[in-house]
A = this chain, B = another copy of it.
Amino acid sequence: LSNVIVNEVDSPEPRRRSDGERSHAAILEEAAQLATVIGIDGLSIARLAEAVGMSKSGLFAHFGSKEELQIATIKAASRTFTQRVIDPTRVAPTGLDRLRGLAENFLRYLESTYPGGCFFASVAAELDTRPGPVRDLALRINAAWLGGLERAIHDAQAEGDIDPAEDPEQLAFELNSFLLLANQQFVVSRTGEPLDRARRAIDRRLSR
């Protein structure tokens, strides 16, 4: 999964960043925060300029168009997702540990990262009926996430921790269902209850 997402965002090796790049990253972080509240379609250069206190022409120097800004914001959110949700599972000793780690990291990420919960759930719900390159990129990242869950399930089956008769796609669908409803209810309720419901559902589903 992480390979797919990393390729998706052309992430280079970590290196020292110049001031210009730091500022670019800070602008995109603000853009991602804003997109989960007002929607990615509401994310115009004018609106972002107001939020970060820069001139519109200053922002145009960073992003030539609204669409470029949206694509850059999605790529930045993808890097954040990889760092918070996927990277910590690289050291998991088994497929089942990785699967549980992905789910738990997702629940923590949605609680602590954006005001509108999971960035990609928010963008996917908004753009589902609006074809175009921004939607396509968001959908590819969602598909990569599901693919990562499926690979962890495959590995857990090979290791004898999940019944080999399970269909990995079906199981990934069910686990992802719990995570996404938890996200939706968390954004509205701002309580940990839906996150705990998802944890119980996942525990039950994997403990058989």
A: residues with CB less than 8 A from B are 36-37, 39, 115-117, 121-122, 124-126, 128-130, 139, 169-170, 173-174, 176-178, 180-181, 184, 187-188, 194, 197, 200-201
Contact = CB atoms under 8 A, between A and B. Distances in A.
28 contacts: A37-B129, A37-B130, A39-B126, A115-B129, A116-B128, A121-B125, A122-B125, A124-B184, A128-B187, A139-B188, A169-B197, A170-B197, A170-B200, A170-B201, A173-B178, A173-B181, A173-B201, A174-B177, A174-B178, A174-B201, A176-B181, A177-B177, A177-B178, A177-B180, A177-B181, A177-B201, A180-B184, A181-B181
Contact of A180 (B126, B181, B201): B181
B187 A173 contact: no
Interface of A is mostly: helix
B126 A126 contact: yes
A23 to B, nearest CB: 26
B128 A188 contact: yes
Contacts of A122: 125
Contacts of A116: 128-129
